Structure 1
Amino acid sequence: MSVYKRLEELGVELGAMTAPAASYAPFVKHGNLLYLSGHLARRAGQIWKGRLGDDISTEVGQQAARAVAVDLVSTMHATIEDLDRVKKIVKLTAMVASAADFESQHIVANGASDFFAAVFQGIGPHARSAFGVARLPLGSCVEIELIVGFE
């Protein structure tokens, strides 16, 4: 089944590629790999601010991670123009703005990982790192970067 059909079934509409918030490229293509720079969590077009374990629950953090994943797919689409060219979601790195005692960064990252598994099915499961940080740019609660193999 087409990636676009799965997105439609999930009720996901892709947006435009998000512009970088500083001096960096939103993506780099090298051979058959696409490196997507960190994307910040957004809600209703605005940075989704907060810290897990302080003012954001794990469940809401998962929603934020899923929102980042949708944004990453929008960037993929804008970059390679056809999501059916994706051959493997290779590596996901999730950074979670966390209170000092918050220990569920890996559960927050599941919001993105589960989304990629659903959309890209057999090629969606990936290697992953998830870790907590004191603060993220612009006060975002989650930032995710991604490496994708494509043809």
Structure 2
Amino acid sequence: INAVVIVTLSIFIFKMPVQGSLFLLGLESILFIISALALGILISTISATQQTAMMISLMGLMLPVILLSGFIFPISSMPIPLQVISNIIPAKWFIIIIKGIMLKGVGLQFIWKETLILLGMTVFFMALSVKKYKIRLE
């Protein structure tokens, strides 16, 4: 719902044109949301308390995502080690996808690599979350 509200506000209030398919944008957003949820579940299975999970999410996840995903600073202007680290952040790939769809109007044939990377990360986080959850139940 938040993604729909954000896109609607960007179109009608900020007059930002969407060059590409809104349907593809929605599908990619759902994929990223599932990835973020799987990562959150993984953090909750690793941590012992809710406070620990919140601290891990804030310090170990939110800060690196904001700083290394290309959301604020261009990845190309970062030192090489940080550019390499940014490759393991799902938000980096989602931002590339969003820029491609909304600003360039590209279709899946141009963002398939980023979509596959994001899908792979989603499957990895979900599988690891399920495994950790099963271990925790035993």
TM-score (norm 1): 0.30
TM-score (norm 2): 0.32
Q: Which has the higher helix share?
A: 2
Which of these two proteins has the greater Rg computed from alpha carbons? Answer: 2
